[in-house]
Amino acid sequence: MDLKTFFTENPCGALAYSGGTDSSLLVWAAMEYGKDWHAYYVHSAFQPAFELTDARQIAFQCSMPLTIIEGDILQYPEVVANPADRCYYCKRRVFSMIQHQAAADGYTLLIDGTNASDDEGDRPGMRALRELEVRSPLRECGLTKSDVRALCREAHLFVWNKPSYACLATRIPTGTPITDEALRKVEQGENLLASLGFQNFRIRLHGQAAVIQVTADQLSYAWEIREKIQNRLAPVFPLVTLDLTPRKRNS
In a domain, 250, yes or no: no
Quick one: average pLDDT of 14-41? 98
Cα dihedral 118/122/126/131 (nearest 10): 150
Q: Is 237 left (phi over 0), alpha (psi -120 to 50) or beta?
A: beta
Question: Do 116 and 230 belong to one domain?
Answer: no
In the three-class reduction of DSSP (H, G, I as helix; E, B as strand; rest coil), residue 203 is classed as: strand
Dist. CA 210–CA 222, nearest whole Å: 14
**Over 80: is that where the pLDDT of 146 sits?**
yes
Instruction: Domain count for the chain, please give it.
Output: 2
pLDDT range class, residue 250, cuts 50, 70, 90: low
Q: In this predicted model, what pLDDT tens digit does every residue of 64-95 receive, in sequence order? A: 999 999 999 999 999 999 999 999 999 999 99
* pLDDT number for residue 223: 95
Quick one: average pLDDT of 17-26? 97
CATH number, domain of 15, equals 3.40.50.620
* pLDDT number for residue 118: 83
Q: In this predicted model, what pLDDT tens digit does every residue of 177-215 receive, in sequence order? A: 999 999 999 999 999 999 999 999 999 999 989 999 999
In a domain, 173, yes or no: no
In a domain, 114, yes or no: yes
Whole-model pTM: value is 0.93
* pLDDT number for residue 249: 66
Nearest to 230 by CA among 189, 188, 197, 184: 189
What is the domain range of residue 218? Answer: 179-242
Question: Do 149 and 222 belong to one domain?
Answer: no
pLDDT range class, residue 135, cuts 50, 70, 90: very high
Quick one: average pLDDT of 122-139? 91
Question: Do 8 and 120 belong to one domain?
Answer: yes
* pLDDT number for residue 122: 57
**161, 188, 221: which is the final residue of a domain?**
161
